[in-house]
Amino acid sequence: MLSCCRVADSGWRNRCGWGVGGSNQEMMAGLNSETTFTLDSDAIGNVLAEEVPVVLDRVEDKSLVSVAEAASDFHLAREESRDEESTSILDTAFQLSYSSTDAPSITEATGAVDCDLGLLFDPASAVDTEATFDAEGDGRAEAFIPASFHGAIGRHYPEMIHQLCVQENLTIQEFRLLIEGLNQGNSIDSYPNHLKIKLQNFSFPNLQSTCVHAGLLPLDDVLLKECPFYFINRLIARGDRKFPESQGLSPEVYWTNRRGFASCYDTIFTPFVWVLSRIVSKEEYLMLLDHAENETWSQTKALIVELQSRMISYIDNVYQPSFSLKKSHVKWETRKSSPFLHLCKHGFNWEQLQLFTKLDSRYIDFLCEIESQSRGGHLCRSMIATSRYIQEAETSFDPHVTLLTWEEWIEDYQDSCRRDQRWRAHESTVTLLNRRRDEREPLEAITMDHELFVGQPYYDYDLNTGARRKSD
């Protein structure tokens, strides 16, 4: 079953630190130009002082320079081995209806998440976020919202907003400003010039009257719900950096790794954690974290019994398993105390846990499903490959990566299954993203022996105290 323990063989553990999957988880033109101008130096100074805009995701240098780019060849990394049993599960998973269940049909509730955008960027890039919102337009075609995401906009916003996005080709930054401004009842003069022109072209008064008092969803809520890489990146950003630093690992590697770095169990992306996020209070979860840190885990017995009871009830009555997962799998994991301990020892905080309430369980099940392929580590490799393209304030930001939707990802997986082709969780995902990025520099697949994987620990746990020590 997918939730069962996966123990690594010593050979592979020494090489890259990943466990070997068992059954079901027990298993980017050369434009070079030279132009000579003779200008008064004071005039040049005035132009540079008054006319150079700061553009979101790009700092322009108005000096005359030669720009040269070289697109690197994309090489698909081949896996060293094939886990036949895991592949069998993935080949048949699409046949299982995610809505099929013996329990009554109950809609999964989506709770509110109290989290800020907190855009990540390198201060050395000198891009002022507030200044960029006043720019005259970013001019980067790749910053526009991909057509593939327009459907998601249509699902969450009035049709008039959807039409505006398509007709005026908004960027993701412009769209965020639009939603915030409409919710606050701002006048058209409050928007930066580049967005104001687009709103004037579309008839802003009609748009404003349509959306007044509509209570539009914040864009971040939609992105969290619709876009897997946005979701995972946000979860990583909300984690305490002291935990990956203590293990000498990058945040991308740490937060997508084995939960608690135990010798068994998978990542935090499991239905167990999704169900827990729905039934536990902040006070209760902070208590678990405190006892795990202080190695007084035995004092959590009564609380864990209560949480297990609530979780079993939620699994029976609300949770709708998808792909190859079954309710019995999640119950099996829930009835043990070790998953709670491993999650807490990993440093998974309350803010990170609340992000799970933004998602339908099907999407967490999908992450669990693909991570059970072969030796695991697929999410970790995918985050290393994509991380530079999903930081919105960076010049490398690419919405074709960030705005990939869950359903596009799942459809690519299921299409391979229908054609009886093996879908490799990381390599196939990189291929999908490169098709979306078209002529841009291709992403490269990350091999299992990547240097960022070196030094991953394995721990044994004392389930009475919560103490842990490195495995021999």
For residue 357, the model assigns a pLDDT of 97
Cβ proximity of 261 and 243 under 8 Å = no
The answer, yes or no, to whether residue 183 has pLDDT greater than 70, is: yes
CA distance 360 to 225: 8
C-alpha 295, offset from chain centre: 31
**Residue 221: pLDDT over 80:** yes
Task: Return the minimum-mean-pLDDT range out of 104-113, 139-148, 180-189, 393-402.
Answer: 104-113
Per-residue model confidence (pLDDT) at position 440? 84
**Contact at 8 Å (CB) between 368 and 269?**
yes
* Of 242, 336, 318, the residue nearest 277 (C-alpha): 318
- Condensed to tens digits (0 to 9), the pLDDT of residues 116-172 reads 434 443 433 333 333 333 344 444 444 899 999 999 999 999 999 999 999 999 999
C-alpha triplet 320, 322, 325: angle, nearest 5°: 100
**Mean residue pLDDT across the chain:** 79
What single-letter amino acid sits at 357? T
- Taking residues 321-347, what's their average pLDDT? 97
Q: Convert the pLDDT of each residue in 285-303 to its tens digit.
A: 999 999 999 999 999 999 9
- The answer on pLDDT for 195 being more than 70 is yes
pLDDT-derived band at 373 (thresholds 50, 70, 90) equals confident
pTM comes to 0.72
Distinct helix (H) and strand (E) counts, the chain: 24, 2
Average confidence (pLDDT) over 92-117: 41
What was the pLDDT predicted at 404?
98
Higher pLDDT pick, 264 / 400: 400
Encode pLDDT of 238-272 as tens digits: 999 999 999 999 999 999 999 999 987 689 999 99
Is residue 376 within 8 A of residue 24, CB to CB? The reply is: no
- Decide: helix, strand or coil at residue 144: strand
Using DSSP, state whether 424 is helix, strand or coil.
coil
Q: Using the structure block, give the residue that is written with the tokens 């004392």.
A: 462
- CA–CA separation, 307 and 404 (whole Å): 35
pLDDT, average across residues 39-57? 44
Residue 419 has phi, psi (to 5 degrees) of: -90, 10
Q: What are phi and psi of 359, to 5 degrees?
A: -105, 150
Token pair belonging to 101: 């269940």
**Angle (nearest 5°) at CA 38 between 35 and 39:** 125
State percent of the chain over pLDDT 90.
62
- % the chain with pLDDT above 70: 70
Q: What are phi and psi of 353, to 5 degrees?
A: -60, -40
How far, CA to CA in Å, does 326 sit from each of 207, 318, 369? 46, 13, 11
Contact 168, 198 (CB under 8 A): yes
pLDDT at 415 over 80: yes
Alpha carbon separation from 261 to 16, 99, 245, 285, 445 (Å, rounded):
13, 32, 14, 20, 24
375 falls in which pLDDT band (50, 70, 90)?
confident
Angle between helical axes of 406-418 and 361-371 (0-180°, round to 10): 50
Kind of pairing, strands 459-461 and 468-470?
A: antiparallel
For residue 301, what are its two tokens?
């017995």
Cα–Cα distance measured from residue 385 to residue 82, given in angstroms and rounded to the nearest whole number: 22
Encoded tokens for 395: 């010049």
* CA gap 44, 463 in Å, rounded: 70
pLDDT at 97: 38
